A and B are shown apart, each in its own frame.
Chain A
């Protein structure tokens, strides 16, 4: 089982986590140049504009990599669990992490779909499962 690492959200990220709590996978969209970004922050790195809005996106992507964790880090019990690195379709120049919900291991490049899962500290996490199964 995955261990619980306490994290605190911050003034940039709180609204993103609030949206996952409502079952929404959101990205920031720059209102000046239209570029999407993740994780949440105020400035667009492409054009330096501060104007942006949240935009709901499909929680879809492809598998970039994964690990099977065995070591009992933190509060972990040593039961293996998979963490997957996903390239989200909505923001393809970003990579994000999540749990893996299928019994089999992921396959490089496979299409996956986000699943909202209750996590520690009241956060709603985004885990991933194969898109076509």
Chain B
């Protein structure tokens, strides 16, 4: 079905990014983390809280909403805010919805943020939190199957069985991303690793080892989204939002295509590329949601960078390394930089397009893809294509 879309290609821009340090114990509340990241992003843009008329976040009952962060920073008149329920699958939808709000004129300057104490307060990878309100969970949890590494490991093995993906493929991805983190002062894990280190790391849930899993992290990251025109007058080079898409996909478990080796990203990708008027060959650098090694491999396929089933060999060929044809997760990703649930992927994409990524800069990067959790567990995902002005 053809849809009439508000054409917001390149009409909005990311004008600033901000971070708190990434740690294993922030020692402060998520409200404090959120405020610090928002202030840092505004400072990066050369703006202050008085310039903000929109705030947006996503959370799963684990963090401070815009209705707390706004007043805490003296932002009195929010004309638009978004408190999106959800985890990694909606991380990029939050930025996309902010861009839509700005393009529609509902708000002029929106700060998107994600703040979590995912290690010290609310362990994201474990089982200490309540079961999500998915009808499918009650058919899984009684079998000792609920934690994210278990769920992704199950899908990873399905991909291994169907396409011959191997532990070495997963390992090469972990090693490559760590090499990027070595060049990133923000990264939590900066010691280089080898394929042998990967293979020797302990089992979590076979086929996943410890080094297949991302870092549970305390930290926050924020982005300033405003009109392209306004961004051009601010402190930093604007990074244009060329496309934002979310939704897509069908359940892997009930009545959909039931192909556990393909994700909602395969349905989303044509819509995303279509909005930008670009294709996978135009992408210079990609920040791809890496809660686990496997989630990158399946998305390289589903976003069209290699044929279906060849994500593992594509990574092993070196294509995703910093000097490869498609540098991926140049900050080290969730596996090595830290896990801020997606927002730090968008921020790294912005950094690459501004040319301020330091030792890990991809020379001449003009177009970046940044993606969310690709649609496992819940059948939805989101993604952005960003472009240098």
A binds B: yes
- Give the Cβ gap from B265 to chain A, nearest Cβ, in Å: 19
The count of residues in chain A whose C-beta lies closer than 8 Å to any C-beta of chain B is 51
Q: Which residues of B contact A69 (CB under 8 A)?
A: 144-145, 150, 205-206
Q: Which residues of B contact A7 (CB under 8 A)?
A: 131, 137-138, 141-142
Q: Which residues of A contact B126 (CB under 8 A)?
A: 73-74
Instruction: Let me know if B149 and A37 touch, CB within 8 A.
Output: no
Q: Which residues of A contact B140 (CB under 8 A)?
A: 97
Does B260 sit at the interface, judged by CB under 8 A? yes
Instruction: Let me know if B258 and A37 touch, CB within 8 A.
Output: no
- Give the Cβ gap from B154 to chain A, nearest Cβ, in Å: 5
Instruction: Let me know if B154 and A87 touch, CB within 8 A.
Output: no
Q: Which residues of A contact B153 (CB under 8 A)?
A: 67
CB contact between A5 and one of B131, B136, B255 (< 8 Å): that residue? B131
Q: Which residues of A contact B137 (CB under 8 A)?
A: 7
CB contact between A39 and one of B135, B252, B256 (< 8 Å): that residue? B135
Alpha-carbon separation in the docked complex, A80 to B203 (Å): 10
Select from chain B the residue with minimum beta-carbon distance to A35: B255
Q: Which residues of B contact A96 (CB under 8 A)?
A: 139, 253
Does B235 sit at the interface, judged by CB under 8 A? no
- Give the Cβ gap from B209 to chain A, nearest Cβ, in Å: 9
Alpha-carbon separation in the docked complex, A8 to B130 (Å): 11
Alpha-carbon separation in the docked complex, A91 to B133 (Å): 23
Alpha-carbon separation in the docked complex, A95 to B206 (Å): 19
Instruction: Let me know if A67 and B207 touch, CB within 8 A.
Output: yes
Instruction: Let me know if B203 and A68 touch, CB within 8 A.
Output: yes
Does A130 sit at the interface, judged by CB under 8 A? no
Alpha-carbon separation in the docked complex, A46 to B250 (Å): 13
A-B interface pairs (CB < 8 A), number: 133
A10-B135, A65-B158, A70-B203 as given contacts; A95 in contact with B144, CB under 8 Å = no
Q: Which residues of B contact A67 (CB under 8 A)?
A: 145, 150, 153-154, 157, 205-208
Q: Which residues of A contact B257 (CB under 8 A)?
A: 93
Instruction: Let me know if A71 and B253 touch, CB within 8 A.
Output: no
Select from chain B the residue with minimum beta-carbon distance to A124: B142
Instruction: Let me know if A39 and B143 touch, CB within 8 A.
Output: no
Interface residues of B in 129-171 (CB under 8 A from A): 131, 135-147, 149-150, 153-155, 157-158, 161
Chain B CB within 10 Å — which of A2, A3, A41, A85 has the most? A85
Chain A CB within 10 Å — which of B128, B153, B158, B255 has the most? B255
- Give the Cβ gap from A36 to chain B, nearest Cβ, in Å: 9
Select from chain A the residue with minimum beta-carbon distance to B131: A7
Instruction: Let me know if B127 and A3 touch, CB within 8 A.
Output: yes
Interface residues of A in 80-104 (CB under 8 A from B): 80-81, 83, 85, 87, 92-99
Q: Which residues of A contact B142 (CB under 8 A)?
A: 4-5, 7, 119-121, 123, 125
Instruction: Let me know if B150 and A64 touch, CB within 8 A.
Output: no
- Give the Cβ gap from B106 to chain A, nearest Cβ, in Å: 34
Instruction: Let me know if A94 and B143 touch, CB within 8 A.
Output: no
- Give the Cβ gap from B40 to chain A, nearest Cβ, in Å: 35
CB contact between A94 and one of B138, B149, B207, B253 (< 8 Å): that residue? B253
Select from chain B the residue with minimum beta-carbon distance to A69: B205
- Give the Cβ gap from B78 to chain A, nearest Cβ, in Å: 36
Q: Which residues of B contact A119 (CB under 8 A)?
A: 142
Q: Which residues of A contact B206 (CB under 8 A)?
A: 67-70
Instruction: Let me know if B143 and A97 touch, CB within 8 A.
Output: yes
- Give the Cβ gap from B74 to chain A, nearest Cβ, in Å: 42
CB contact between B158 and one of A45, A85, A123, A127 (< 8 Å): that residue? A85
- Give the Cβ gap from B134 to chain A, nearest Cβ, in Å: 10
Q: Which residues of A contact B138 (CB under 8 A)?
A: 7-10, 13
Instruction: Let me know if A83 and B161 touch, CB within 8 A.
Output: no
Does A23 sit at the interface, judged by CB under 8 A? no
Alpha-carbon separation in the docked complex, A69 to B146 (Å): 11
Does B104 sit at the interface, judged by CB under 8 A? no
Besides the known contacts A73-B147, A93-B258, A127-B143, 6 further A-B residue pairs in the complex with CB atoms under 8 A apart: A2-B143, A5-B144, A7-B142, A64-B158, A68-B203, A85-B158
Interface positions of B (Cβ within 8 A of A) = 126-128, 131, 135-147, 149-150, 153-155, 157-158, 161, 202-208, 252-258, 260
Interface positions of A (Cβ within 8 A of B) = 2-10, 12-13, 35, 37-41, 45-46, 64-71, 73-74, 76, 80-81, 83, 85, 87, 92-99, 108-109, 119-121, 123, 125, 127
Q: List 11 A-B contacts (CB under 8 A).
A: A4-B142, A5-B146, A13-B135, A35-B255, A46-B255, A66-B157, A67-B157, A67-B205, A74-B126, A83-B145, A108-B161
